[in-house]
Amino acid sequence: MTRRLAPWFLAALVAALLAAAAAAQVAPAAAPDPGPPGDGGEAQAPPTPGPPVPPTLPAPTTAPVAESSNYDNWFTDEALRVELYHWGGARDDQYLFDRAVREPLWPGMRKVLLDVTGYGKYRFRVQDLASGTTIFSQGFCTLFGEWQATPEALELKQRRTFEESVRFPFPKAPVRLILDRRQDVPGPDGRGSFQEVFRLDLDPASHLVARDPLDDRYPLLTLHESGDPRERIDILILGDGYTAGEMEKYRRDARRFAAVLLGDAAFAPHHGLVNVWGLEAPSRDSGPDEPRKGLFRDTVVGTTFNTFDSERYLTTAHDRALRETAAHVPYDALYILVNTSRYGGGGIYNQWAIFPSDNEYDNYVFLHEFGHSFAGLADEYYDSGTSFDDAFYPAGVEPWEPNISAMLPGRPLKWEKLVAAGTPIPTPDDEAHAAVVGAFEGAGYKAKGLYRPYRDCRMFHKGLVPFCPVCAASFETVIRLYTE
Ligand SMILES: [Zn+2]
């Protein structure tokens, strides 16, 4: 199953190489690097508003009014990655531009170019500079956003910098990139209102856009191929902490998890819409960093336990290394498979999901974290030792995630369409209501004031319980966005 680059990717590569011959490149900058807490949670506000929508349709949006329409009017077949530094303290954040990099292929959405979900604490917008038309937008979350909820930020009042990047189709003409962040005050739909935090004008024809040619140093591993990446959801399962001598283990592990993913009810009906890729990128050392044990390893994308000094928060802050490695594969969604038997993980919306290869809970972590990173799902549990509390879900603001709600007065329950008539709201947390969609108090790390839609769910319970109907509907929504 291992093979070199697929023909379509090779063609894109050749095109990129030819174009690169005529272009210069920009020197990369050194990057600071993060540190400490958490689990896989994210941030605040979500999709609520107006008339409820069918569960499989995108929710109404707070995204900018814009007409994008035809992909080919605005974009080439390639992608543009904009590398940034995201820095600040617990209550403020800012961005700095580092560099722009062309990638050989945009494998993502080509029909739905504007975000319609409203998921994410952040969002970026791309405007055609000449006309001001918004031609692409996407919601996302950040590791920085999670760090803001840590004692280091809140109590010690430290300030930090994180590597970040956004990726979108390569524009044909100059564009303006705008980043917005949700505030802790409700907007018209109850979710945190967006405020602009950064803007940058970019000329895609500039020699300052890096055009580093990709090579084929890493063999591509085909785990499941259903068609042209331009028309599929492309999921990359990137290994970290596998040495060259452990590549057979990586292939075995990646195949095992690809089978788990495709066998899950959320993806099983969509085999024909999904590609799953691997990349044989060996690390010098085996396993991730484990700072509390004094173990530091040299790995491809620098995964580490004890992120934010939390025991089981397994992440990477090396976005540059991650994106440069992943750019060898067309990917929409990124999984990082870490060669370890320790329990841990993390998942950040539209960034990555990270999980351990050999833990007894690995199948659970694998899908739970993907719920965060792919479908914008919140943690539904509330009794954990995590210390996010109000920092994640400020009172009076509706979470942006589709599967938890503050049930603010005067607003419809966002999963109302899935609630059967006569269901008591709030819903008693008892056996009689174990299989109904309702509103169960206790969610998003809070025992009071936040509600989850189902008594148990993959986002609630550490076990192989299925995603609840509301979470499953969010998967469905995102899958449709990529493939319609
Ligand atoms: Zn759920």
Asked if the structure places residue 466 within a domain, the reply is no
Output the six-digit token pair for 394. 């400020």
Q: Are 425 and 72 in contact (CB under 8 A)?
A: no
**How far is CA 211 from each of CA 13, 103, 106, 484, rounded to the nearest angstrom?**
11, 8, 15, 30
Q: How far is the CA of 357 from the centre of ligand 1 (A)?
A: 24
Question: What pLDDT, in 10s, does the model give residues 305-355?
Answer: 999 999 999 999 999 999 999 999 999 999 999 999 999 999 999 999 999
Question: What pLDDT, in 10s, does the model give residues 120-179?
Answer: 999 999 999 999 999 999 999 999 999 999 999 999 999 999 999 999 999 999 999 999
Give pLDDT, residue 360. 81
Q: What percent of the chain has pLDDT over 90?
A: 73
pTM summary value: 0.85
Residue 204 burial (CB < 10 Å; 0-12/13-18/19+)? middle
Do residues 201 and 75 both lie within one domain? yes
Reported confidence tier of residue 386, pLDDT bands at 50, 70, 90: low
Q: Which of 160, 192, 210 is the last residue of a domain?
A: 210
Q: How far is the CA of 12 from the centre of ligand 1 (A)?
A: 39
Reported confidence tier of residue 59, pLDDT bands at 50, 70, 90: very low
- Please, what is the angle between helix 469-483 and helix 362-375, to 10°? 60
Q: How far is the CA of 483 from the centre of ligand 1 (A)?
A: 23
Do residues 206 and 244 both lie within one domain? no
Distance CA 159, CA 156 (A): 9
Q: Is the pLDDT of residue 222 over 50?
A: yes
Q: How far is the CA of 163 from the centre of ligand 1 (A)?
A: 31
Q: How far is the CA of 435 from the centre of ligand 1 (A)?
A: 12
Q: Which of 343, 375, 407 is the last residue of a domain?
A: 375
Do residues 63 and 133 both lie within one domain? yes
Give pLDDT, residue 245. 98
Q: How far is the CA of 361 from the centre of ligand 1 (A)?
A: 18
Q: How far is the CA of 460 from the centre of ligand 1 (A)?
A: 7
- Residue range(s) defining the domain that contains residue 450: 389-460
Q: How far is the CA of 461 from the centre of ligand 1 (A)?
A: 10
Asked if the structure places residue 476 within a domain, the reply is no
Q: Are 354 and 338 in contact (CB under 8 A)?
A: yes
Element (H, E) at 162: strand 160-171
Reported confidence tier of residue 470, pLDDT bands at 50, 70, 90: very high
CATH of the domain at 355: 3.40.390.10
Asked if the structure places residue 146 within a domain, the reply is yes
Asked if the structure places residue 179 within a domain, the reply is yes
Q: How far is the CA of 277 from the centre of ligand 1 (A)?
A: 27
Q: How far is the CA of 474 from the centre of ligand 1 (A)?
A: 9
Output the six-digit token pair for 214. 């990709």
Q: How far is the CA of 128 from the centre of ligand 1 (A)?
A: 38
Asked if the structure places residue 156 within a domain, the reply is yes
Q: Is the pLDDT of residue 43 over 50?
A: no
Output the six-digit token pair for 476. 């469905």
Give pLDDT, residue 389. 56
Do residues 315 and 346 both lie within one domain? yes
Where are the alpha helices (H) located in 87-202, listed in sequence order? 143-147, 151-154
Q: Is the pLDDT of residue 28 over 50?
A: no
What average pLDDT does the segment 437-449 reach? Answer: 94
Question: What pLDDT, in 10s, does the model give residues 250-307?
Answer: 999 999 999 999 998 888 999 999 999 999 999 999 999 999 999 999 999 999 999 9
Do residues 61 and 190 both lie within one domain? yes
Distance CA 36, CA 14 (A): 41
Do residues 71 and 199 both lie within one domain? yes
Where are the alpha helices (H) located in 264-413, listed in sequence order? 319-326, 362-375, 389-392
Do residues 128 and 174 both lie within one domain? yes
Q: How far is the CA of 78 from the centre of ligand 1 (A)?
A: 36
Distance CA 236, CA 227 (A): 15
Do residues 398 and 363 both lie within one domain? no
Asked if the structure places residue 382 within a domain, the reply is no
Do residues 192 and 231 both lie within one domain? no
CB count, 10 Å around CB of 301? 27
Q: Are 212 and 25 in contact (CB under 8 A)?
A: yes
Q: How far is the CA of 23 from the centre of ligand 1 (A)?
A: 48
Across the chain, mean pLDDT equals 86
Q: How far is the CA of 453 from the centre of ligand 1 (A)?
A: 6
Q: How far is the CA of 386 from the centre of ligand 1 (A)?
A: 19
Q: How far is the CA of 264 from the centre of ligand 1 (A)?
A: 14
Reported confidence tier of residue 388, pLDDT bands at 50, 70, 90: low
Asked if the structure places residue 455 within a domain, the reply is yes
Do residues 428 and 320 both lie within one domain? no
Asked if the structure places residue 480 within a domain, the reply is no
Q: How far is the CA of 87 from the centre of ligand 1 (A)?
A: 32
CATH of the domain at 99: 2.60.40.3250
- DSSP states of 73-84: HHEEEEEEEEEE
Q: How far is the CA of 438 from the centre of ligand 1 (A)?
A: 11
Q: Which of 160, 191, 210 is the last residue of a domain?
A: 210
Give pLDDT, residue 385. 55
Q: How far is the CA of 185 from the centre of ligand 1 (A)?
A: 25
Do residues 121 and 192 both lie within one domain? yes
Do residues 128 and 257 both lie within one domain? no
Counted domains in the chain: 3
β-partners of residue 3 are 220
